[in-house]
């Protein structure tokens, strides 16, 4: 029987010499096939589309001191870079439980790690919020090491369909798990002016919270919905028109970053989740167990610092980091997304 061959489908060509849109970056989205392109992007200080460059790997491993036979948790799996390095330390003896609430990226990461030789005997990936870390220890097991990287993965930021950035147009979503809860657009629609002002101030220290909230209210009164990332960016630009032209562009950029951060924290209940995780942390750590947490803004860092200090004073932690640990200058040059990172650690008594 004759089989009709499928016609060859040409890749959609992009305008110019370099792809700009996420979907057009076909080489970066296939790292296993175009390794030279990936290396080139990283050398220039960029993050390839669909990838995430793990931050402070050396500092984390130096502190956690992972040994073969131990059991630990990567509370925020993401692209799996930290998990991969921790698995290497186990030398095929022990186990890591990796948690993530993103049903899209966690499946990709699990398959990627399996292809590298890390199967079910050494790695368990759970679709679980790290606030529920105690569920990993339901059978009475205690953990020797825990890592929580609280940053948003580059795969989420770069994909316009997830709505995490104002730099490209996409639905104003911002949910870590797009299958649960309400989107940022829905949250903004239901939010009162006073509530939004408080959200901007508390979650992002936004200096123009009043002006941005007023501009959002004006849109609502006029029946104009804010449904996309660029809809919100345009509202922020309108709100800051009163600023001198010489400083307006830079201030709009900063306010966009802070506003998106404030909404993301709210939509995903990030402070509540972190607080619950910090409260449960001593319960799940074995005596001498080590926990490292990477934070990316002042609100997160304040919560971690306060919790570690309180448990240290109570004698629950035998030792905590006295100061934050920052990434090296070289790492920040190589990976600009590392610049705001702070690491704190604690050791269970």
Instruction: Tell whether pTM > 0.85.
Output: no
Per residue in 217-249, pLDDT (tens digit) is 999 999 999 999 999 999 999 999 999 999 999
Q: Are residues 195 and 260 in the same domain?
A: yes
The pair of three-digit structure tokens given for residue 294, joined into one six-digit string = 């990477």
**Final residue of a structural domain among 225, 240, 267:** 267
Segments forming the whole domain that contains residue 77: 57-154+270-348
Q: Are residues 276 and 147 in the same domain?
A: yes
Within-domain flag for 46: no
Average pLDDT over residues 165-187: 91
Within-domain flag for 255: yes
pLDDT of amino acid 27: 56
Average pLDDT over residues 267-271: 94
Per residue in 67-82, pLDDT (tens digit) is 999 999 999 998 899 9
Within-domain flag for 165: no
Within-domain flag for 12: no
pLDDT of amino acid 133: 95
Band of residue 161 on the pLDDT scale cut at 50, 70, 90 = confident
Q: Are residues 76 and 126 in the same domain?
A: yes
Per residue in 37-62, pLDDT (tens digit) is 655 654 554 555 556 688 999 999 99
Q: Kindly report the CA angle at 24 between 331 and 15, in degrees rounded to 5?
A: 110
Per residue in 122-151, pLDDT (tens digit) is 999 999 999 999 999 877 889 999 999 998
Asked if the model's pLDDT at residue 16 lies above 80, the reply is no
């Amino acid at each position: 029987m004759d089989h009709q061959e499928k016609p060859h489908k040409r890749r959609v060509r992009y305008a110019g010499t370099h792809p700009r849109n996420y979907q057009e970056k076909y080489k970066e989205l296939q790292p296993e096939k175009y390794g030279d392109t990936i290396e080139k992007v990283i050398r220039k200080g960029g993050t390839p589309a669909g990838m995430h460059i793990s931050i402070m790997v050396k500092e984390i491993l130096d502190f956690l001191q992972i040994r073969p036979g131990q059991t630990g948790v990567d509370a925020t799996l993401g692209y799996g870079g930290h998990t991969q390095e921790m698995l290497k330390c186990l030398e095929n003896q022990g186990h890591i439980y990796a948690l993530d609430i993103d049903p899209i990226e966690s499946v990709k990461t699990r398959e990627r790690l399996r292809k590298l030789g890390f199967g079910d005997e050494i790695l368990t990936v759970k679709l679980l919020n790290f606030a529920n870390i105690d569920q990993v220890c339901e059978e009475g097991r205690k953990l020797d090491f825990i890592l929580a990287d609280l940053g948003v993965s580059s795969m989420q930021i770069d994909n316009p369909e997830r709505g995490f950035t104002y730099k490209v147009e996409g639905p104003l979503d911002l949910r870590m798990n797009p299958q649960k809860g309400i989107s940022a657009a829905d949250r903004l629609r239901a939010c009162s002016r006073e509530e939004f002002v408080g959200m901007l101030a508390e979650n992002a220290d936004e200096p123009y919270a009043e002006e941005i909230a007023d501009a959002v209210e004006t849109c609502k009164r006029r029946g104009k919905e804010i449904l996309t990332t660029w809809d919100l960016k345009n509202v922020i630009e309108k709100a800051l028109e009163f600023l001198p032209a010489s400083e307006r562009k830079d201030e709009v950029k900063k306010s966009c970053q802070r506003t998106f951060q404030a909404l993301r924290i709210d939509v995903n209940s990030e402070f509540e989740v972190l607080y619950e995780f910090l409260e449960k942390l001593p319960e799940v750590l074995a005596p001498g167990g080590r926990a490292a947490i990477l934070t990316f803004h002042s609100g997160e860092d304040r919560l971690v610092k306060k919790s570690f200090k309180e448990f240290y004073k109570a004698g629950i932690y035998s030792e905590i980091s006295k100061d934050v640990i920052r990434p090296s200058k070289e790492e920040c040059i190589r990976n600009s997304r590392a610049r705001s990172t702070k690491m704190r650690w604690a050791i269970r008594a």
